[in-house]
Amino acid sequence: MGNLVKTVVITGAGKGIGREIALVFLRSGWNVVAFSRTESDLVELTEESRHLKGSIHTVSGDASVSTDVSNLFAETSKHFGKADVLINNAGVFKSASFLDMTEDFFTAQWKANTLSTFLVSKLFAKDMVSRNSGQIINIISVAAKRPFISSGGYCSSKFAQDGLTKVMREELKTHNVRVTNIYPGAAFTNSWLGSGVDKKRLMTVSDVAETVFKVVNLDDILVIEEIVLRPVEGDL
């Protein structure tokens, strides 16, 4: 019976979109491994999920640090045996013009958005390949599709994440590992606090989380390669 319950690993599950994805899977009875940097966010998430059908195991760490990623993999194996689905959601958005951007500012976004996807995916994909089964979903952004002013660090890291994950799809498909890229437009999270943008103009985190859940529940004979989600009135 226990073997029928599937396990999803979600990076950046402490806040925003990742947190909502965790709750959607928990409501449906999945095992969830929630990974994020801030421990107190994970404690709160565990508390909120107390009465939900699924089981949660939290791991704190940084997805761009390989020892933390190895620990995430070990904890997942120990608690739930394996990951059926990996969701690369951890990411950071910060705004600065190209001319003002410092090297540290640029590198920090590349680490959080691109390097994290590489490190986490590589470890979990190797295990999926050995089992000839698995699914990887990447939360990218419309900022991997078109440029946004004062978002050079973010756009370049998201374009790079997109390129890497498309290569992953090609290399992993012969091992029955399906890779889906989701490109959300603006969704209301902390990233938008203080922006002055009307909340009603944005999608909700639940719009994105429910879309991810639909992808996971489709027939495993097919792969949804890409989904672009935008507020009806388009980008901001």
Q: Which stretch binds ligand NAP (CB under 6 A): 44-52, 89-97, 98-106, 212-220?
A: 89-97
Which residues in the chain belong to E strands, given as ranges? Answer: 7-11, 31-36, 55-60, 85-88, 134-139, 177-184, 226-229
For residue 178, the minimal CB distance to ligand NAP (Å) is 20
For residue 13, the minimal CB distance to ligand NAP (Å) is 6
Which residue in 6, 236, 19, 10 sits closest to 120, CA to CA? Answer: 10
Q: Which stretch binds ligand NAP (CB under 6 A): 21-29, 33-41, 124-132, 211-219?
A: 33-41
For residue 220, the minimal CB distance to ligand NAP (Å) is 25
For residue 184, the minimal CB distance to ligand NAP (Å) is 4
Cα end-to-end distance, the chain, whole Å? 47
**Which of helix, strand or coil describes residue 198?**
coil
Which residue in 62, 66, 2 sits closest to 35, CA to CA? Answer: 62
Q: Which of 8, 10, 16, 180 binds ligand NAP (CB under 6 A)?
A: 16
Cβ(86)–Cβ(133) below 8 Å: no
Cβ(111)–Cβ(153) below 8 Å: no
Q: Which of 56, 63, 123, 125 binds ligand NAP (CB under 6 A)?
A: 63
Q: Which stretch binds ligand NAP (CB under 6 A): 44-52, 58-66, 122-130, 145-153?
A: 58-66
Residue with tokens 């019976």: 1
Question: Which one, 15 or 57, has the nearer CB to ligand NAP?
Answer: 15
| Residues at the site binding ligand NAP, with contacts judged by CB under 6 A | 11-12, 14-18, 36-38, 41, 62-64, 89-93, 112, 116, 139, 141, 184, 186-187, 189-191
